[in-house]
Amino acid sequence: MPTSRRIQISVLSASTFAFTICFAIWVMFGVIGNPIAEELGLNETQFGVLTAIPILTGSLARLPLGMLTDRFGGRPVFSLVMLSTVIPIYLLQFATSYWHFLALGALIGLAGGSFSVGIAYTARFFERERQGFAMGIFGAGNAGAALTKYVAPTVVVIWGWQAVPTVYAVAMLVTVVLFWIFTYPEPPNAQVGRSSLREQLGVLRDPRVWKYCQYYSVVFGGYVALSLYLTRYYIIEYGVGLQLAALIATIFVLPSGVIRAFGGWLSDRFGAHTVTWWCMWSSVVCLFLMSYPETQYAISRRDGSTLEFTFGINVWIFTALLFVVGLAWGVGKASVFKYIANDYDRNIGLVSGVVGLAGGLGGFLLPIMFGALVDFTGVSSTVFMLLFGVTSVSLIWMWWTERRNPVLRRPAQSDGAVVEGSTN
């Protein structure tokens, strides 16, 4: 019988690998959507819908999948979710109409629902003081978005976008097999199946859950939305090719994914509230600068002449700011789930599903709003004006409920207890 430590490492490694593949597939339209949009003659709003449909279904699936995980365990649920996407992924290469892509994209999106399964499953193998770090490592599977940025453009250039679904379908099938081999059933103290449906749904009345949803809709929803839209943003705004645009976009996508493990460690060390607070502040400052459009100024002089100059963010400054935002959101994704691990040890699957649902819905709605704003205004930086606005809402909410009265930020106890970051 393997030791407890060996089981922890095996489960964490297999789950993180599986989630990385799932995430890479979940955001695949962020790359292959560009040649598809050219073939079908899509506008920006239609492109936004195409990339966002998998995000929608993956997000909506997170709540029921989280509940199933609490009832039946993460290992069988995770495996079935991955297996259910293999055929839709493979069939994608045969799609010819816009609605074909939307329908298959909706089925492929179930891969994104694996997050609420895997993070609850992984956390149950670790002690409370190490759960933040473990969940952070698992969440680093977000780097699957960077994997797609590297792999998919190369496959598109060599064999065409139709080859990408075949590669990803085979990868998913292999992943299911490896996951089942290297994982184990939950430990006896995991309380799987011990919460009734009424008890599970009762958690949804807790205002803290909705506050964490708002936080996660920024740090994760914004991450997913930009992962989908950045390649196109660089193509349109800075005039670079598909491969180069995807490569530059990984400067945001990859660090934001892998640093999540470090964010989990920071949250264990300094607390979820402190880490989340500084993540929000650093990202809101960068987003304000990134949202400033290229502007031409004309100043009238006393002699009747005009002084003209232009202000804007060039590609190097923009990418540097984007890198900082990626780091902040990567850490923030871990710190938000540290709140959840502290507050809801019995219903972690359900609450992870609810919060993950909110984050995923942010990832669904934002790309559509990006496209609509660009179509309506013709100004590309409205994308970051919107992100600045939603991040500011989170900061205000956090200050109002947590910073005004620091006495209420007490150490976590158990389900329903007053915990760090709660005023309820």
Residue type, 389: G
The Cβ-side half-sphere exposure at 408, using a 13 Å CA radius, reads 13
pLDDT of residue 190: 57
Q: What is the mean pLDDT of residues 176-197?
A: 74
Q: What is the CA radius of gyration of the chain?
A: 22
134, pLDDT greater than 50: yes
354, pLDDT greater than 90: no
Token code pair at residue 78 = 């995770």
Its pTM stands at 0.68
Measure Cα distances from 270 to 153, 274, 289, 336 in Å.
Answer: 40, 7, 29, 13
CATH number of 4-184+196-408: 1.20.1250.20
CA atoms of 33 and 24, how far apart (whole Å):
14
Token code pair at residue 153 = 């453009």
pLDDT of residue 405: 61
Q: Tell me how far the alpha carbon of residue 414 is from its chain's centroid.
A: 27
Q: What is the mean pLDDT of residues 368-395?
A: 86
Measure Cα distances from 219 to 31, 80, 213 in Å.
Answer: 21, 28, 10
CA atoms of 126 and 188, how far apart (whole Å):
13
Give the best-scoring range by mean pLDDT among 58-62, 163-167, 298-302: 163-167
Of 219, 350, 215, 370, residue with least CA distance to 291: 370
pLDDT of residue 19: 93
Digit-coded pLDDT (tens) for 98-129 = 999 999 999 999 998 888 888 888 888 887 77
Structural contact between residues 78 and 117, judged by C-beta atoms closer than 8 angstroms: yes
Q: What is the dihedral of CA 178, 183, 114, 68, to 10 degrees?
A: 140
408, pLDDT greater than 70: no
Give the best-scoring range by mean pLDDT among 162-166, 224-228, 241-245, 353-357: 162-166
Of 360, 383, 349, residue with least CA distance to 233: 383
Structural contact between residues 138 and 52, judged by C-beta atoms closer than 8 angstroms: no
pLDDT of residue 171: 94
When mean pLDDT is compared across 12-16, 267-271, 283-287, 356-360, the lowest value belongs to 356-360
Q: Classify the C-alpha dihedral 241-246-247-248 as positive or negative.
A: positive
Q: How much is the mean pLDDT over the chain?
A: 82
202, pLDDT greater than 70: no
Of 290, 344, 337, residue with least CA distance to 314: 290
